[in-house]
Amino acid sequence: MTSFLLASGNAHKAEEFKELFQGRLTISPAPATLPVDESGKTFAENAFLKAKAYAEAYKVPAMADDSGLVIEALPDLLGVQSARFLPELSDYKDKCRRLLELLESTEDRSAYFVCVLCFYISPDEVYFFEGRVHGVIGQGLRGEHGFGYDPVFVPTRTEQDGKSLAELPEWKNKFSHRAKAGLAALLFFKESIDKSHKKS
């Protein structure tokens, strides 16, 4: 099994996964975005809800991802609600500034990004892969790359230069939470990938 429908109509996200999977897994955007109630209490539950909904609607194997930022000292602040944090603010830069304000008096600024991928092939065949990248919340917004909370997240790296994910596009492509989850999926599906390449 090497072809999956992305549980999203976002063509840009499909292109991101295409690069992530280096052409070894085929991820196609859905013809339309489906309304899915992401009521899960964990990233895995929400990824499952999305993958299952798209697989059942389009009758093909589907893949969904759910990701977010977890603040160690305030675990209920973002997490699975990361994308829905302060919905009245449409610009993530404003959300980041508000997050920094909330953490002003917090000494422990440890945080991590988590991504869970769910591959739904059938009710009896569902696979999950998780990736994390640890770090801290910086003191301000830095960098123009990336998206979401990248400008305020400083990942743990050998180079202790204080750079945010938004300043490290090449590093992020290799070591982000999404990249780690994707690599785990590639390694798992390697046998079926190799078989499909031999047939072609």
Write the class of the CATH domain 3-199. Answer: alpha beta
The residues spanned by each domain of the chain are: 3-199
Nearest Cα to Cα of residue 68 among 89, 88, 82, 51: 82
Q: Is 66 a catalytic residue?
A: yes
CB 72 within 8 A of CB 145: no
Cβ burial of 175 (10 Å; 0-12, 13-18, 19+) is middle
- Strands 3-6, 62-71: pairing is parallel
| Residue pLDDT, tens place only, 138-192 | 999 999 887 889 999 999 998 888 899 999 999 998 899 999 999 999 999 887 6
Low-confidence ranges of the chain (pLDDT < 50): none
Catalytic residue among 66, 124, 161, 194: 66
pLDDT of residue 153: 96
